[in-house]
Every structure is written in structure tokens, then in C-alpha cells.
Amino acid sequence: MADNDTPAENVPSDKSNASSENAIEISIDALASEVQESLSLAKRQKFWETQPVGQVKDLGDTSLPEGPIQQPTPLSEVKQEPYNLPSAYELVTIWILRRCVVSWHIGLRVKTSKKLVAFISGIPAKLCICDAAMLIAEINFLCVHKKLRSRTLTPVMIKEVSRRVRMENIWQEAYTSGVVLPTPITTCQNWIRPLNPEKLIDVGFSRLGARMTMSRTIKLYKLPEQTTTPGFRKMEPHDVPAVTRLLRNYLKQFVLAPNFDENEVEHWLLPKEDVMDAYVVESPESHEITDFCSFYTYTRSIFGSQDHSILKVAYSYYNVSTKTPLVQLVSDALVVAKKKDLDVFNVLDIMLNETFFRELRFHRADGKLNYYLYNYRLKHVLRSSEIGLVPL
């Protein structure tokens, strides 16, 4: 997690912000060779080679059809029994979230001790991929106990969740991962904006930039005390229809994006203390909702610091601007995040986010995030700015 990539005072270079067609082509080529290198034949993908995903050998082959790789079968032909496991383990279904298909929350536990040692989950989601609306499963929270790593439990968990997804007559999945697997539809860069630079430097998350002092760094990242947009206020339940309209209009421009309805906006975006923050801009004159911004928060443990035990991290979620400039909207989001005592604000370079990085003093972080589709082939690698889906 340490952000040693870029000195704290650095802002994105022109190169990293390149947006010309030429630069995009280069970055797609670079991504393709990066993937080919990471997944070279010397390191066979024994599991992923057997799955209906874009394969490394097919990268750049535009003769392959876009769309589902395997066609749906009658549900009676979907494997009815769970995948085999080593005899010491059993699969359990865990009820944890609202709005879920319960059977898609799969735990693996040791039969004798009942200890949970692995987990994977899926939730149903409506997505638009290249203008095609489809119901898919978003797969998330895969983890295997440290002591059981490298024993190929992961493929069992993935196959089992896919089997259960198919049992519900859903044939595509979307997932993200920091690791390169066959084969990303895009790779996004994480950018961060320090809110509490002193703490970030103290705990080793960031380091002091060259020729910078702590007081200059604090000054550099200082934010206004108050938001600046007239009518900027917390989202309320009665804003759901307006926010849904704003989001649906905005997300149409991206190649891959959720197809939100009001129920989903209510569920995912209404503010929840210490989980989700969402703000609207209500025109003081017309009372129309013209803009919207949101972020979610995680708390992470800090080890090895005498002064701090937790890091409070904000992740930009969906921001839609129609009247307020996006940079001003996100600046206001930073102000409220700072007021909530959050330490750092993360944003992926998806959607139009790249347009505010420089002005708001974001800098490139270590993390990259790869997006994947299961059982759906795209002819071309996407630019990160073509992605309108924010993973949670």
C-alpha cells in the first residue's frame, strides 16, 4: 500500500495524461504486450486456459467474434452438484448482504473445526456492454486463508460461483483484480489525493517530496474550509429519481457501465454513515438537481506506527456534472471528505476522472486495477476512460 511511486508534491506529467489518439494506441499496445509478458507461455495459466475468457494467444486477433464465448445452455444441462473439494472442506452459503442471490455468497470451511478458510461472492448487476444491456454477476471478495494459498482452491471457488450464477440463468460475469489474468479488457491506474499528508507521511503511506518540507507539503494540499458550490448538499431519499436520471444519462457514453434503476441507486448511493457519501447540487433558483458526486470509505489497519492505528480511505464512486464543472464538484467532495477526517482520496482514471487530476493535485499511486469479463469477448482492449463501472 505504501505510495513510494511519486513524490508527494508531484502532479501528473503530460505523458501520463496523454489523451491523443496516438497515445491511446500506444497505451493499448503497451497493455497488450504487458499482458503477454506477464502471462507468458513459460507460466501456463492452467486454470484460466480452460475458462471462457479472452485468452492470451488471441490478443489482437480481431477476427474473433465479439460477445458471449459460450452460448447459454438449458438450465438442466448446467452442472447441478457443487464442484469436488478436498474431503476436509465443505462449502457453505453465507448470508451477508441485502439485494443478493444468497447462494452466490460462498464460504469454504474446514469440516471438523467449521473454520472459514475461503470466500467468494457475486451480486447480480445490470450492465451495458457496447450498448448491449445484460444481466451479469459482479464477482468480488475472493480470498483464501494464507495457510492454504497455492493449493488451487481459487479455481474451485471461481468455478463454483460461476456454476451457481449459471443456475440462475446468468451467463456473464465481471470482476476486477490487481493481478494480471487472461485477459484484461482494460487496465486502470489508481490516483490519490492526500487529505492528511502529515499522517500519510508519518505512517509511511507517502513520503516527503524532494525539496519539500512538511509545512510546505501541508500547505500544498490544504483545502478550503467550506464547499464552494451553491446548493451543494447531502443526497436524500427524495433525490433518488433525479440522481438516477443524471446517472443514466451520464453513463450512456461509456462502453462498459452499470444500467442503474431507482432501486439500485437507492441501495448503492444513498448516504450511509462511514460507508457511502453522496451529495447533490440543487439549483437555488429552480431546485433542479443538476449535479451529483459520491465516494465510499474503508478503514484500514496501520501496523508499526506508534501514533496511528487506522487509515481512513475514500474511493471516488460516481460523479455527474451537468451545470457545475466536474473539477469544482470533486473539489467539494474533497472538502467534505477532509471534514470527515478521511486521510486520502482515491480515484481510478476511468470515466472523465482524468480531467481533474492535475488541478486537484492528485498523483499516480502504485496500484493498477485490471477489469475482466467472464464469458464475453471484446474485440479491442478498452481505454480506461471508456469504463463507467466503479468496483466496490
Ligand X SMILES: CC(C)(COP(=O)(O)OP(=O)(O)OC[C@H]1O[C@@H](n2cnc3c(N)ncnc32)[C@H](O)[C@@H]1OP(=O)(O)O)[C@@H](O)C(=O)NCCC(=O)NCCS
- Binding interface with ligand X (CB under 6 A): 45-48, 142-144, 149-155, 177, 179, 181
- The nearest distance, CB 108 to ligand X, in angstroms, is 11
Closest to ligand X by CB, 82 or 155: 155
Set 64, 75, 97, 392: catalytic member: 392
**Smallest distance, ligand X to C-beta of residue 285, A:** 46
Q: Which three cell numbers, joined as nine digits, stand for 184?
A: 484484461
Q: Considering beta carbons, is residue 36 or 45 the nearer one to ligand X?
A: 45
Shortest distance, CB of residue 246 to ligand X, whole angstroms?
A: 30
Residue 52 or 271 having the CB closest to ligand X: 52
Q: How far is the CB of 56 from ligand X (least distance, A)?
A: 11
Q: How many CA atoms lie within 13 A of 336 on its CB side?
A: 24
Annotated catalytic residue 135: no
| Closer of 160 and 282 to ligand X (Cβ) | 160
The residues that are catalytic are 392
